[in-house]
Structure 1
């Protein structure tokens, strides 16, 4: 009876996962070897799409932007979230309330947050800076090809810090206060406690945060759509946005399917590399 109950619970889940995830993924891989435009007939072209992706300057530019954005955002979000987590884990008043407040950005819609910050960058900050006479901030950074990515980083990091902070808090809670008391008796300072006690003991949580943050930032889409739409020009066009536009709006379904396969392999390779390097560091600590 129990085995039958398990099957009744798992088979629908497996079926739904296959229908809405595995099957479309396999379909995309299949079409990546064709010249299908999303409609009509198609022919097999072998690895032609993959070769063209590697030669496509627009795709390479999108990859460079995505990597730059992901690396900078991953570093910043982990620095800020760890700092906030340490602060919230200390014995301060209203720390439970502050934890709830800091988590709020994570439950907000990315698109809505993007549109709000779009207004802030476009109107609020320039007008406020003009009233104060701060000429450096009177320009909309989202309209500057060299600075637009900075606005996207600010919004993405602000929203991502909430989730990563919760993970770091989960790690900090596992550290016994006796370790800090013993370190204080030995005369250890704040930085010595952090590097010798806190950071080594939360190393597994650091690994999780680094991998998840990098993976999520490499897949950035909503923030860019709401803030810049990939512009000015193509200066903030990410791989996800390029695949969406070319595949569903530009009649390049097969070509962008090949791009998506390459993109998937890159993300998996980076994630595996991160896990191996960071886990090796955990052992060394």
Structure 2
């Protein structure tokens, strides 16, 4: 009984805080999504009208399109880059531990501060460098171009997220026995054959985790966009998270954006489940 009492005393405060600051606001948001609440004043129940309106809102559909485009590209790039770096850092090279620490530094920095720094670089430093070197592409501020601004957001997101994904891949590579590679060397397997036939299948569970977590995080992109473009130019880089924030807290659309948030939560869960199912099947086949 004493052990149960101690366990309860340790878990209960965390549970209460989680419920107050996470579960209760989420339930409250779901409740208000069925009303016409503006964030203040009186409100009435309107049923599923807010949900139907989301699918007819051109701005919301545009935000969904940008968010999916950004998340898919960033997820693929960050996983390819992280895996490449992890394999390099796992090799027997000098200053391996120092390099691991250096690659992890971007992850511990504030996303917003990093975004502001890159915003300054894209706006001032790179154009000046491009003009000095007479390179036309660098001479332009891509964040001011509706067709190219999303690329700047992807660059920053991938640069900062690579550290965490690399750490997970390093953990996966540490589970691979060196004797496996020794046997492959005896059989005359090349570097690509060893990676594709041995390394990748053995770290497939870590690849699955990285893909799911990275996709989920990029779908919820907010800080990078605020610091780099603010959703602009125009609404070219307006993500769903940014749209929900602005519409709900600045535009008097609290109930409407609550419905949007519920829909987006369902979308993220569905995408994560689909990813897990597909990638886990490939793990078994591999």
Kindly provide the CA deviation profile for residues 29-59 of structure 1, in whole angstroms up to 9, marking residues without a partner as x.
Answer: 0000000000000000000000000100000
**How far, CA to CA, are the matches of 2:9 and 2:115 in structure 1?**
42
**How far, CA to CA, are the matches of 2:210 and 2:155 in structure 1?**
18
State the shift of 1:137 in Å. Answer: 1.4
Partner of 2:59: 58
- 1:1-285 aligned within 5 A: 1-285=2-286
Q: Secondary structure at the match of 1:137?
A: coil
Kindly provide the CA deviation profile for residues 177-214 of structure 1, in whole angstroms up to 9, marking residues without a partner as x.
Answer: 11111101101000000011000000000000000000
Figure out how many residues of one structure are paired with residues of the other and give that number. 285
State the shift of 1:136 in Å. Answer: 1.9
**How far, CA to CA, are the matches of 1:10 and 1:166 in structure 2?**
29
Q: Secondary structure at the match of 1:251?
A: coil
State the shift of 1:135 in Å. Answer: 1.5
Q: Secondary structure at the match of 2:47?
A: coil
**How far, CA to CA, are the matches of 1:138 and 1:217 in structure 2?**
28
State the shift of 1:70 in Å. Answer: 0.2
**Which stretches in structure 2 are left out of the alignment for 5+ residues?**
none
TM-score by length of 2: 0.99
**How far, CA to CA, are the matches of 2:136 and 2:206 in structure 1?**
42
Root-mean-square deviation (CA, aligned residues, Å) is 0.4
**How far, CA to CA, are the matches of 1:136 and 1:78 in structure 2?**
27
**How far, CA to CA, are the matches of 2:137 and 2:228 in structure 1?**
20
**How far, CA to CA, are the matches of 1:102 and 1:137 in structure 2?**
26
**How far, CA to CA, are the matches of 2:156 and 2:28 in structure 1?**
34
State the shift of 1:83 in Å. Answer: 0.1
Q: Secondary structure at the match of 1:268?
A: helix
**How far, CA to CA, are the matches of 2:136 and 2:30 in structure 1?**
51
**Which stretches in structure 1 are left out of the alignment for 5+ residues?**
none
